[in-house]
Chains A and B, each alone.
Chain A
Amino acid sequence: MRRSVIGGAKRTTTTTCLFLLNHAHHRSLLPPLHHRLDSSSSSSSATALLLLLRRLSSSSSSASSPSPPNMPNPVSVQSINPKVLKCEYAVRGEIVILAQRLQEELKAKPGSLPFDEILYCNIGNPQSLGQLPITFFREVLALCDHPAILDKAEAQGLFSADSIKRAWQILDQIPGRATGAYSHSQGIKGLRDTIAAGIEARDGFPANPNDLFLTDGASPAVHMMMQLLIGSEKDGLLCPIPQYPLYSASIALHGGSLVPYYLDEETGWGLEVSELKKQLKEARSKGITVKALVVINPGNPTGQVLAEENQRAIVEFCKQEGLVLLADEVYQENVYVPEKKFHSFKKVARSMGYGDNDLCLVSFQSVSKGYHGECGKRGGYMEVTGFSPEVREQIYKLASVNLCSNISGQILASLVMSPPKVGDESYESYSAEKDGILKSLARRAKTLEDAFKSLEGITCNKAEGAMYLFPRIKLPEKAIKAAEAAKTAPDLFYCRRLLNATGVVVVPGSGFGQVPGTWHFRCTILPQEDKIPAIVSRLTAFHKSFMDEYRN
């Protein structure tokens, strides 16, 4: 099964699309013919002439009476970019749309459903579930948004002294202190200096502010790299399966090929270099030029934290094969087990003695994750190392088309990489908030993991890091048959039933990819702690009745 990967993976991704997405999607499997009709008719010059004649005759009469359009509307599903039709993003797919509908129903008719609230465990969006922001960060952001109050004596009463000091520092790094101006397209230089210093402190190896590109969250940075790397469907990227669907969606949107490598569930979603080699070889034999390897560490949706030794092997592999290493490190602060530590790929590569000439490496970071969870701010950066100046110029150009990322997000990225230090006025409250959140996340992860493990037919990995659990469900034959009868993927069938019965929203494994024939779902560990017992009991009751209904 694993052998037919390129085809097989395409199947995992495309078939899932079929199930996961909206109705519009079914058409995406048909339209090539329509498209060909559309565009080839105009490329044949005879037809072009005909069209022109038609146009001339229509335009002569057009002044007074409207003539009917002679072209199909350009923005119909039949005529839009097929790559748009092809891409899928399950984290906000069918289940979420259903959840939103149920929420409306609850609002309109309270008590009409077997639960009284929707619990969104589909997306890593902590503050929407009640997590509070880190006070110091928000104080600084508020002051930067409204610098007119910085001078006022009353500000001392409302804001901590070090937040005022930090706001001044930041404003002084912004040309003209103008937080309402477009910045340098890579981000404000002074903020990049701060971030570079933060990276250096984290890794013990130097970081260059000119290697940093600040972006509206990590996702646009990933898109930018895809744009750069993918020229056609012959260009491939090695991506983990299961993967965060940003990658599959972005690769589809840019018209490249996803070359899957499977994480090994048996060994806690281990990443084997032998598997990478095998898949690379197979892709190459099919004429695919594999350009990059995507590694998500800590893993999403799988929650594993890579061992340093494993990372070294991955670096070595990329160096030998000339692959760009795209390191999604947005969960670097989210590690919950004492025996694992986050190591950045840059640190690992540098400690192996590999510098800019040995490896092209991109590390993505975001303000949306970690203990701060500031998703709404859309802040993030990528650190690109090992790129030639010409390539760097191309990245800069891409960044400049969009002018710059939002300034509030840029400031927050600098704060996250340079939080209060021992001795600062806010240090104690800051670390209390941070530790409180991280410890609570670790407890929630453990509680949910134990709960899943206790259920019939469910096995569950340990959430070593990130924000998710990815339990595997052994679905009884009868349930699979019922799903087929309902023309639904079995895991989607389960998740939909779960939602309808309990209000708990999770994402079916097919949205992330999984070994064919296995079924999973992704559940965040983010609901507030006081909600967890209710979730566990609802889940347990639902699962029991589901199994009773379908057990062989």
Chain B
Amino acid sequence: MAPKGLDYEHLNENVKKVQYAVRGELYLRASELQKEGKKIIFTNVGNPHALGQKPLTFPRQVVALCQAPFLLDDPNVGLMFPADAIARAKHYLSLTSGGLGAYSDSRGIPGVRKEVADFLLRRDGYPSDPELIFLTDGASKGVMQILNTIIRGPNDGILVPVPQYPLYSAAISLFGGTLVPYYLEETANWGLDVNDLRNAVSQAQFKGITVRAMVIINPGNPTGQCLSEANLSEILRFCYQEGLVLLGDEVYQQNIYQDERPFISSKKVLMDMGPPYSKEVQLVSFHTVSKGYWGECGQRGGYFEMTNIPPKSVDEIYKVASIALSPNVPAQIFMGLMVNPLKPGDVSYEQFIRESKGILESLRKRARIMTDGFNSCRNVVCNFTEGAMYSFPQIRLPPKAIEAAKSAGKVPDVFYCLKLLEATGISTVPGSGFGQKEGVFHLRTTILPAEEDMPAIMESFKKFNDGFMEQYEDTRGYSRM
């Protein structure tokens, strides 16, 4: 038979190279076990509604009305929907041309982009231009679009934090670029040292790689740290000196669990720095409806804002966006609702505040329970989750466990996580999926299981972990801290 177009050997090599651990081996095994009837606690993806978080009522009411605009003419609509939801639905429908069923402008509905710009002005204190805001089907799509625009070939490098969210490594391999890692320092609460950045760039350059962009994830995924203003301005200065575009993944900006270090956007810091930085440094920042107290992952809504990107490049990015026609319209409305929430005095305001506060406060408690739980376990150390949705404990695996993993043909942390899954049903992601220093092992869990289930989960984890350590730790030797 003639060779076929889709024979494995003939596939795009860049596709084969892609690794995406969040939905990798562990996830597949967990799904299998679930099919066999085992109770699985999915803590592998930041997917709050899957773990029982209820959607905020008001945005769902508005979008339901936009889906079924004929309800707006029904005299009984007021029996089921509050007046402010009805008014808001009419507002969004008036911003569309053809309701939820029509393609919008490829950059998103102009009126919604205006609402995003207004939000950015309120948040940062600096004006934002709706023409430089593009709505996307989730932040991932935006990140991929920007990386695709930047990367020309294997000699183009992108600075990415390690540990990192594997979207970045996956997208960079897919587009055939080179990931240039910079390591976050675990002992300094996953801090970022600008000298390391310089080293990373010089080393890359010796290999013939031109570093063209730098990714920061703030608050960090999987590491949960919040970057300080001082740190951010160092980073921006560095990008200025090196001529790098900064990609600011700020999707967890609502998820802050301590008061010492609130979220501060890269854009605000950049503008505060004034010229030449504020006029020169190219910045793209990303946001989403999937995270925060919204957690509307299934909607696939997001945006990116471009700063100091030349108009001709913006045109090119627009052109590529137009090939996909438009982001989905219901999610654009969710985005509008997220950036333009209810105000005091609105009928639904109190309920909205009650719901959103409830979620955030509970997440804050869960972050604490989880960190403390991990730190109470044998050979486990864990930084506090300052922000985002994850806990990223280090597991100090004994040499015997590492050997056992090797003979099972598994990476040590994968081995550990699989055992954890089989024993407890807790589905995590091994640290190797995010990158970690050699010889050091982690796992990532979300802090999303319901608050009332949390103590039992941590207890079951502790029981497994301590038993595992007992089994493999006869010599009391640790893997390197």
Contacts and interface: CB of A to CB of B under 8 A. Distances in A.
Interface of A: 21-24, 35, 38-39, 42-45, 48, 51-52, 55, 58-59, 62, 66-77, 79-82, 84-85, 87-89, 91-92, 123, 125-131, 133, 135, 138-139, 141-143, 145-146, 148-149, 152, 154-155, 157-158, 175-176, 178-183, 185, 216-217, 219-220, 223, 227-231, 235, 246, 249-250, 253-254, 289-292, 320-324, 360, 368, 372-378, 386-388, 390-391, 394, 397-398, 400-409
A202 to B, nearest CB: 23
A21 B323 CA distance: 13
Contact of B138 (A158, A292, A373, A403): A403
Interface stretch (B125-133, B166-174, B184-192, B357-365): B166-174
Interface string B268-296: 00000000110010100000001000011
Interface in B1-54: 1-8, 10-16, 18, 20, 22-23, 45, 47-52
A66 B103 CA distance: 45
Given A70-B242, A182-B50, A39 B6 contact: no
Given A82-B152, A227-B15, A59 B101 contact: no
13 contacts: A75-B245, A81-B175, A126-B102, A216-B137, A216-B324, A229-B6, A253-B323, A375-B102, A376-B102, A394-B11, A394-B16, A401-B20, A404-B300
Nearest to A130: B98
Given A219-B323, A246-B323, A402 B140 contact: yes
Contact of B5 (A152, A178, A229): A229
Contacts of A376: 96, 98-104, 326, 328-330
A43 B312 contact: no
Contacts of A44: 208
3 pairs of A and B residues whose beta carbons are closest in the complex:
A71-B243, A376-B329, A322-B2
B74 interface: yes
B63 interface: yes
Nearest to A82: B152
B344 interface: no
B327 interface: yes
Contacts of A129: 98
Contact of B208 (A48, A231, A321): A48
Given A145-B330, A216-B300, A376-B98, A80 B316 contact: yes
A138 B210 CA distance: 50
Contact of B99 (A24, A127, A398): A127
Given A39-B153, A77-B312, A408-B299, 6 more contacts: A138-B67, A254-B12, A291-B10, A373-B101, A376-B328, A391-B6
A231 B102 contact: no
Given A70-B242, A73-B282, A229 B198 contact: no
Given A80-B149, A148-B57, A158-B77, A69 B242 contact: yes
Given A178-B49, A227-B174, A324-B6, A401 B299 contact: no
B15 to A, nearest CB: 6
Nearest to B300: A406
A182 B10 CA distance: 31
B201 interface: yes
A291 B106 CA distance: 30
Given A48-B206, A181-B47, A155 B80 contact: yes
Contacts of B407: none
Contact of B241 (A51, A58, A223, A360): A58
Interface string B63-84: 1110111110010110110000
Interface in B316-345: 316, 319-320, 322-331
A406 B237 contact: no
B144 interface: yes
Given A43-B155, A322-B4, A48 B80 contact: no
B151 interface: yes
A32 B404 CA distance: 52
Given A130-B98, A181-B297, A391-B8, A135 B15 contact: no
Contacts of A138: 67-70
Contact of B60 (A73, A87, A145, A368): A145
A372 B100 CA distance: 12
B241 A125 contact: no
Contacts of B103: 123, 125, 128, 368, 375-376
Contact of A403 (B5, B140, B175, B240): B140
Interface of B: 1-8, 10-16, 18, 20, 22-23, 45, 47-52, 55, 57, 60-61, 63-65, 67-71, 74, 76-77, 79-80, 96-104, 106, 137-138, 140-141, 144, 148-153, 155-156, 167, 170-171, 174-175, 198, 201-202, 205-206, 208-210, 212-213, 237, 240-245, 276-277, 280, 282, 290, 295-300, 308-310, 312-313, 315-316, 319-320, 322-331
A479 B7 CA distance: 50
B101 A375 contact: yes
A249 B156 CA distance: 23
Contacts of B245: 73-75
A368 B328 CA distance: 11
Contact of B329 (A81, A235, A377): A377
Nearest to B328: A378
Contacts of B324: 216-217, 219-220, 223
A398 B15 contact: yes
A81 B151 contact: yes
Nearest to A147: B60
B117 to A, nearest CB: 18
Contacts of B201: 55
A20 to B, nearest CB: 11
Contact of B18 (A219, A368, A398): A398
B292 to A, nearest CB: 12
A74 B212 contact: yes
A141 B60 CA distance: 11
Nearest to A188: B298
Q: Chain B CB within 10 Å — which of A76, A227, A375, A403 has the most? A: A403
A125 B102 contact: yes
B356 to A, nearest CB: 14
A66 B18 contact: no
A176 B34 CA distance: 14
A182 to B, nearest CB: 4
A377 B100 contact: yes
Nearest to B314: A75
Given A72-B243, A178-B50, A217-B324, A66 B237 contact: yes
A291 B12 CA distance: 11
Nearest to B202: A52
Given A75-B310, A125-B103, A127-B101, A45 B80 contact: no
Contact of A51 (B63, B98, B205): B205
Contacts of B63: 145-146
Contact of A70 (B10, B170, B241, B299): B241
B8 to A, nearest CB: 5
Q: Chain B CB within 10 Å — which of A130, A249, A407 has the most? A: A407
A125 B20 contact: no
B4 A360 contact: yes
A502 B326 CA distance: 27
Contacts of B315: 22, 24
B251 to A, nearest CB: 12
A39 to B, nearest CB: 5
A113 B20 CA distance: 54
Contacts of A39: 152-153, 155-156, 210
Contact of B320 (A87, A127, A409): A87
B210 to A, nearest CB: 5
Nearest to B289: A180
Q: Chain A CB within 10 Å — which of B65, B104, B322 has the most? A: B322
Contacts of A377: 100-101, 328-330
Contact of A24 (B76, B277, B316): B316
Contacts of A66: 237, 240-241, 276-277
Contacts of B49: 176, 178-181
